[in-house]
Structure 1
Amino acid sequence: MWLGLDLGTQSARCVAVDGTGQVLATAARPLTSRRAGKKHEQDPEQWWSALAAACREALGGLDARRIRGLAIDGTSGTILLADAHGTPLTPGLMYDDGRAAEQAAAVNAAGGAVWEELGYRSMQPSWALPKLRRLLENGAGHRAGTRLLHQVDLITWRLAGHQVASDASHALKTGYHLVEASWPHKVMAELGVPEGILPDVVRPGSVLGTVCAAAADATGIPEGTAIVAGMTDGCAAQIGAGALAPGAWNSVLGTTLVLKGSSPHLVRDPAGVVYCHRGPGDNWLPGGASSSGAGVISQHFHGENLDALTEQAAALDPDAVAYPLVSTGGERFPFRAPEAEPFVLGQVPTRAAEFHAYLLGVACLERLCFDYLDHLGAPVDGPLTLTGGGARNAYWCRLRADVLGRPVRLPQQAEGALGMAVLAATSSGTSLEEAAAAMVRIDREIPPTPARTTRYTPVYLRFIDELTRRGWLGQAVADHARRRAAQ
C-alpha cells in the first residue's frame, strides 16, 4: 500500500492506493486562506494539523502495516521561513501571492542569464525567490539558524522528526539550477540570500528518510515508513494521469487551464511562459498555466443548472466563441498579456448560446496552447489525458477532442494525491513509468469527429486572428498555428 498526500489551496488530502491502482481509502480536511489584494497567506501549522487528521481518518479502517511509502505534493512557489527546530517564523506565502514585484525585478537582474539557460527567462512576483528576498528585506530572516521551507518541506520535517532535503520540483521557483543540480550560489550571494538558509535538494522519487515515532502517533502512518521526495501539484496530477511518455500531455481544466507534458529535452521559451520541471528520471516536464479556464463558468453562470445548459448548448451547437479569461491580471499562457481582457466573437442571443461560447473558447485556447508548445519544439503528439473539474462534463470533453482534432483519454481517478502514491511506489525499485502503467487506470477514450474538427477550424482561426489583432498574440505564433491548421 502506498500513500499520496496532497496540500492544495482549499484542502489537505490523504489517499491510500494498492499496487494495482485500487484506491483503498481517501480523506480530506479543509484549509483556510487570508486574501487581500495581492496578498495570499495560510497558517503553516494548519497544513500539518489538517494533513495529520486526514491521514488518521483514511487509515482508520485499513491494515496500516501494509504501507511501504508515501510522497507529498504542494502548491508551486509557496514558501515560509522557519527556525532551526522547524517552527514557522512567517505565514505561508501562497503560490499566487503577488506582493514581490519590486523584488522580482532585482531577482531577474541578478539571475537573468541563469533563468534563460533554464528555459523560463524570468521570474514572476509570485515565484518563490522574489518572495524570499522580500521576506529577507523585511527582516524575517535575521535569526541564526533560519531556514527557507517550501510548503511540503514543513510536512516532511514533521514526518521525519528532523529537516530533510527538499525536492527539485518545489525548488525550481526558488532558483534551483535543474541542469547543474545545485543552487546558483553567485546569484544568491548577489541577492543577499544567506547560504545556510537554503535546503539541500534531491531529485523527486529519492527516499528522504522514514516516519518517526511522534509523526506516527499524530498521523497513524507506521513508524519507519519511507518518505519519498515529491513534486509540485501540477506534476503530481500529471503523474496521476499517467502522462509520462515523451510527447504525452495532461490537460487540467479547473478554475484555470494547466498543461503538463513530457519531453526528452529541456524546452526553452524566449517569452518565458513555459517552464520545465525535471522528471524523476531523465525526462523533462514542460508546462504552462493559463489565466483562462473553467472559472468563467462559475463567474458567468453561478447558481444556474449547468446540466440543463449543457444539454441546450449541445443541441444548438453554435459557432460563437468567447475568450475565457478568468483573471483580472491579464493572460500568462499561451501568451503573456497583462492587458488582456475577455471578449465574445459572434452572437449569443440565449444563455445556452453564451454558455456554449465559453465551452468553445476554452477548447480554442487549449488548441492554441498546443500550437504554441509545438512552436517551441516541445513534442505534443503523444497521448492526451483530460483531468480537473471541467473533465466531468462529457459534452465539453467531446467538444475539446473535436476542436483539437485528436483523441482524449479520461482516467478513472486522476488527482495529485494519486500521483504521489504512484511516485511513492518507485521506492520499491520500479521505474515511474512502470508504476504508472500498473496504477493509473484509463476509464475511456474519446476520438474526435473529423467533420466537427473541420467545422471548428475556421472558428479557431477567427479566435487567433482576434487575439493577434488586439496585440496580445505574437504574429510568429499565430502564423505557426495557421500552418498547423492547414495541415
Structure 2
Amino acid sequence: MPVKQPLWVGVDLGTQHARALVVNDKGQVFGAGSAALTSTRCGPRHEQDPQQWWTAVAEATRAALACVHADAVTALAVAATSGTVLLVDRAGQPRTEALMYDDARAVQEALVVNDVGAPLWHALGYGLMQSSWALPKLLWLLSRHPDLANEKIQLCHQADLINARFIGHPVPTDTSNALKSGYHLLEDRWPTEVLNRLGVPPPLLPAVVRPGTLLGRVGVYASAVTGIPAGTPVVAGMTDGCAAQLGAGCVEIGSWNSVLGTTLVLKGVSDRLICDPAGALYCHRGPDNIWLPGGASSSGAGAIAEWFCAADLADLTAEAAKLAIGPVMYPLITRGERFPFHAADAETFMLGNPDTDAGVFAALLLGVACLERLCFDRVTMLGAPIDGRLTSTGGAARNEYWTQLRADLLGRTVHIPDQPEPALGMAILASTSSGKSLAEAAATMVRGGRERVPNPARAAVLRQRYADFLEALTARGWLDTAIAQYAHARL
C-alpha cells in the first residue's frame, strides 16, 4: 500500500477574506478555499467582529479539503493581519471588538507609549510606534472598557484567536505578531520595565514563541467544524506580510520581496537587526534566527481604483506602453506617508502635464516605480543586505508593462513566482515541523515563475525622472536631505 504524501495547510486571514491552501512538499496545490469577511470603517475607525474570523476560516478549510484525503494533512499554520488586536477572557472568548491593523484612533495613546518607551523602541530599530500599532491600541481598549478592569483579560492578536480555536484553549503568540505589541525582540521577553509604567501588567500579555514552534494539536470540536483531522499539529505562524514573503521564497540573506497590492510593501532578509532612526522601517524576528526588515508605503496600486475606477486597465496599459517616458505622479491612497519616509502631510502631486487618461495612468505607474526605488535606496542606506534574489508579488505583478518598468528603474532582474501568497507561506512554515529548514522548504515548495530583465535602453531617462521625483519630495519638506543625497549618489 503506497504511503500518502504529506500535505501542509496554510491559513491566511486578510481584510476581506480568509483563505486556506493545501499543498505538498513540491508546492503542488491540492485544494484551496476562501470565505468573505466584512469590516466596519469610519474615518480612523476600522473594526471587525472577531467571531466571524473562525466562521470564515472553517468555511475556507472545509472547501480546501473537499477533494483531499484529510488524513494526509500533516501540520498547519495561520497568518493574519499585523497589529489587529482585541481583549479576550482567560477562556479565549472575545470581550471587545477587534481593532484592525489600520485602525488609527489611538493617537494620544501612541504619544504616551513613545514618551515612556522611546529608548527601547529606538534600540529595537523602529524608533517610534504609530497609532495603528498594537500597544497603543491595547491602551485605547483598556481605557474604553473600564468595566473589564476586574476581569481576567488578556491581549489577543488575530492569529492567536484562530490558533486557540483550532487547539481548544488559549495559546502563546509569536514574535512576528508580538512586535507591534512592544515585545523585546533582542532579549526575547516582554519589557516589563516599560509596560508597568504604561499600566500594562504582565498577566495581560500572552506567552511568546518563535514562528514554527509547535503550539498544540487540532481538537475534536475544531476538527468537526473545519475538516482538519483531530491531532494535526498547529505551529505558530507570522503576520500576513511575513507570510507572503515566505510564499515568494524570500528567505535567504539579502533577498527581498516587493509586494505591490493596494499598497507597496517591501520585505527583506537580514542576518542582523536593521535600525532605522526615522522609524520608517522595522524588523520582524523570523525562524532560523533570521531578521525580516520591511516597511509599508501609503502608495500603491490602490490609487488606480481611485483614479480609474471605471476604466479598462488592459486598454490603458496598452496605450501607456506606447508613450515615451514622461510625467511622474506621486499617488497616495490616503494623506500621509509611512515608508520609505514619514510625512504626515504628504499628498498626491504630479510632475508634468499629461493630456490623456493613458498619460495620467503612465505617470501613476512611474510614480510608484520611483517610490519603490526610493525604498531600496533607503534600506541600502541603513545597511541592509540587498544582493540576493528580488521577487515581485501582489496583484500588480500581473501587469507586464508595469513590472518591466519597475525592473528597468531598479536596474535589477525581477522574479515573479507562480503562486505567491500568505497561505502558501504558512504551508511552507508548517512543513518545517518535519525537520526541514525554512530555506530547504521554500526551495522545493515555491514553484516556477517568470522573470523580467532590465532594459538598459530606458535607464538614462528613468534615472532623470527619478531624480526629478527626489527633488520634488525634498522641496516639499517630506524627504530628508540625507536620504535624498544618498539616492542621488546611487544614480
- Relative to the length of structure 1, the TM-score reads 0.98
Q: After alignment, is 313-322 or 252-261 more displaced? A: 313-322
Question: Contact (CA 8 Å) 1:81, 1:140: kept in 2 or not?
Answer: no
Counterpart check, 1:346 vs 2:352? yes
CA apart distance, 1:141: 3.7
Counterpart check, 1:99 vs 2:105? yes
**1:50-129 alignment runs, 5 A limit:** 50-129=56-135
The equivalent of 1:209 in structure 2 is: 216
The equivalent of 2:375 in structure 1 is: 369
Question: Contact (CA 8 Å) 2:83, 2:177: kept in 1 or not?
Answer: yes
CA apart distance, 1:347: 2.2
Counterpart check, 1:200 vs 2:203? no
The equivalent of 2:412 in structure 1 is: 406
Question: Contact (CA 8 Å) 1:247, 1:383: kept in 2 or not?
Answer: yes
CA apart distance, 1:36: 1.0
Counterpart check, 1:395 vs 2:395? no
CA apart distance, 1:357: 0.4
**1:105-254 alignment runs, 5 A limit:** 105-138=111-144, 139=146, 141-254=148-261
Instruction: List gaps (5 residues or longer) in structure 2.
Output: 1-6
Question: Contact (CA 8 Å) 2:325, 2:461: kept in 1 or not?
Answer: no
Instruction: Please point out which of 226, 242, 258 is paired with 2:265.
Output: 258
Instruction: Please point out which of 322, 333, 357 is paired with 1:326.
Output: 333
Instruction: Please point out which of 256, 270, 274 is paired with 2:277.
Output: 270
Taking the aligned partners of 2:381 and 2:331, their CA distance within structure 1 comes to 22
Taking the aligned partners of 2:203 and 2:240, their CA distance within structure 1 comes to 27
Instruction: List gaps (5 residues or longer) in structure 1.
Output: none
Percentage of matched positions with identical amino acids: 56
Question: Contact (CA 8 Å) 2:325, 2:462: kept in 1 or not?
Answer: no
Secondary structure of 1:334's counterpart equals coil
CA apart distance, 1:86: 1.2
The code of the aligned residue for 2:334 comes to S
The code of the aligned residue for 1:234 comes to G
Taking the aligned partners of 1:236 and 1:71, their CA distance within structure 2 comes to 10
The code of the aligned residue for 2:314 comes to D
Taking the aligned partners of 2:211 and 2:57, their CA distance within structure 1 comes to 20
Taking the aligned partners of 2:61 and 2:260, their CA distance within structure 1 comes to 27
Instruction: Please point out which of 331, 336, 342 is paired with 2:342.
Output: 336
RMSD: 0.8
Question: Contact (CA 8 Å) 1:90, 1:140: kept in 2 or not?
Answer: no
**Structure 1, residues 152-189: CA drift from partner, whole Å, max 9, x if none?**
11111111111111111000000000110000011111
Instruction: Please point out which of 357, 360, 366 is paired with 1:360.
Output: 366
The code of the aligned residue for 1:297 comes to I
CA apart distance, 1:143: 3.8
The equivalent of 2:445 in structure 1 is: 439
**Structure 1, residues 129-150: CA drift from partner, whole Å, max 9, x if none?**
0010111122154143211100
The equivalent of 2:3 in structure 1 is: none
Moved segments of 4+, more than 2 Å: none
Taking the aligned partners of 1:341 and 1:54, their CA distance within structure 2 comes to 38
The equivalent of 2:434 in structure 1 is: 428
Question: Contact (CA 8 Å) 2:257, 2:266: kept in 1 or not?
Answer: yes
The equivalent of 2:464 in structure 1 is: 458
CA apart distance, 1:472: 0.5
Taking the aligned partners of 1:78 and 1:307, their CA distance within structure 2 comes to 35
Taking the aligned partners of 2:16 and 2:361, their CA distance within structure 1 comes to 27
Secondary structure of 2:289's counterpart equals coil
**Structure 1, residues 313-353: CA drift from partner, whole Å, max 9, x if none?**
0011332111121112x111111111111111112011111
Taking the aligned partners of 1:37 and 1:280, their CA distance within structure 2 comes to 36
Counterpart check, 1:449 vs 2:455? yes
Secondary structure of 2:109's counterpart equals helix
**Structure 1, residues 6-59: CA drift from partner, whole Å, max 9, x if none?**
000000111001110001111100000011111110000000001011111111
The code of the aligned residue for 1:256 comes to T
The code of the aligned residue for 1:427 comes to S
- Relative to the length of structure 2, the TM-score reads 0.98
The code of the aligned residue for 1:348 comes to P
